[in-house]
Structure formats: structure tokens, C-alpha cells
Amino acid sequence: MDWSRIDPAEIWTATQDTLSMLGLSLVFTIALGLVIGVLLYLTSSRQLLYLPVIYSFLSFVVNILRSVPFIILMIAVMPLTKEIAGTTIGVAGTIPPLVIGAAPFFGRLVETALREIDRGIIEAAQAMGASKWDIVRRVLLRESRPGLLAAVTVTAITLVSYTAMAGVVGGGGLGDLAIRYGYQRYQTEVMIVAVVVLILLVQLLQMLGDWLVRKISRK
């Protein structure tokens, strides 16, 4: 292996692209996934807005999107991506499929976190005359903060792997770099560096997430 073929500037540019994809998609995923998760929880059996038809529909859509491999999903939504972002390649072209792929996953994690809340706390809030919106905002979301932070951490790490897969169709970032140099040009050393950077990124995200969960749990 010829390590002199590694261009630090190109590695840094690819890392920046990966971080941009991760940051932007994570923001939209949290916003959309939180709504999905709360609706799944509220409309499920024995909850505040028990609506079995809506719950079944939402759950069905979430399960479908979660069952499709991301690389296939990314190709399938290319026409929609073109309409939204104006392109299907680069950082901009990866955001819509990343959000579509990750939001249902995060939404299901949110639902799970909300289900872990002691029902007695919710009933106490209802007894004090709290509205449904107040219960969601001041009870459900507040009491489930450790679980929600853990869900954000898991989702962020999942998005890192999605951004790497996006490189197969020209999504840019470290995955694209590893494929172009490591696979197509047989420059294994470039692929190794890209993989190491991805591993470090995942480790940093996990450590940060664990630290935030511990900090919130102590309050």
C-alpha cells in the first residue's frame, strides 16, 4: 500500500460532506420522527387519543419504510428527491432519502420511549385538569428525555451508516470516497482511512449520547 496517495484535503472535504449530511438530516429526522412517534403513542390502545384506524395506518407506513433497505429506498425516491432538492447527487441530493429512511425508525424509538413512562404520572396530570397538549409537552416529553436522547444517539449512528451507503449513488462524503478510491481504483489505503474516520465519528457520537443521557438522568 502506498500511503502517499492519501490526500488529507480530500479526506477533510469528504468528512465535511458527511458531517453536513448527518447534521441536516438529523435535524429534519428528529422533527418529523418526533411527530410520528408522539402520534403513534397517542393513538395507540388505552392512550389519550385512542384512534385505532389512524394508529394502524401510521404503524403500517412506518413498518413499510423501515423494512426497505436504504440503498433501494434511496433509488426509489429519486424522482421525489429531484423535486425537493433539485438534484439526486451530492449533499443536497441525500437529505430527502436520509430523512425518509430515518424518520420512521426514530419515530418508533420515540413511541417506545414514551411507553416506558409510568401511567400513574399521566393519570395524575389528568386528575389535575391538564389538557392533552400540556400532558404531551410537560409530562410525556419531559419524563422521556433520557429515552429520547438515547433514541437520537442510535438514530445519528444509523444515519452515519446511511450516508456511507449514499456514496454508492454519488451521494458524496466518506462513503463515496471509499467507493471511488478503495473499490473502483483499488487504493485500499484511502478506503482504510475513510473507514477509520467513520468509526471515530460513531464512537464520538455514542460517547456524547451516553454522557447526555447520564447528565439528564441525574436531574
User: Tens of pLDDT along 50-68?
Assistant: 889 999 999 999 999 999 9
Sequence-ordered list of residues with C-beta below 8 angstroms from that of 68, at least 6 positions apart, any chain: 76, 101
Cβ count near 197 (within 10 Å): 18
CB 70 within 8 A of CB 162: yes
pLDDT at 110: 97
Please tell me the distance from the alpha carbon of residue 55 to that of residue 61, in angstroms, as a whole number: 10
Residues in the chain: 219
Q: What is the DSSP string of 34-55?
A: HHHHHHHHHTSTTSTT--HHHH
What's the grid cell of residue 200? 471515530
Locus of grid cell 426509489: 76
- 8-31 pLDDT, tens per residue? 899 999 999 999 999 999 999 999
Looking at the chain, the whole-number percentage of residues with pLDDT higher than 90 is: 62
Nearest-angstrom CA–CA distance, 89 and 102: 18
Highest mean pLDDT out of 6-15, 28-37, 72-81, 173-182:
28-37
Residue 128 has pLDDT above 80, yes or no: yes
Q: Which domains does the chain show, CATH number per domain?
A: 7-218 (1.10.3720.10)
- Identify whether the C-beta of residue 26 lies closer than 8 Å to the C-beta of residue 18: no
Q: What is the pLDDT of residue 157?
A: 97
Q: What's the whole-number mean pLDDT along residues 99-120?
A: 94
Asked if pLDDT for residue 1 goes beyond 70, the answer is: no
- pLDDT value for 219: 61
Q: Is 212 helix (H, G, I), strand (E, B) or coil?
A: helix
Report the range of poorest mean pLDDT among 31-45, 66-80, 162-176: 162-176
CA pair distance 135, 132, nearest whole angstrom: 5
**d(C-alpha 28, C-alpha 97), whole Å:** 11
pTM over cut 0.85: yes
Cα–Cα distance between 47 and 44 in angstroms, integer? 6
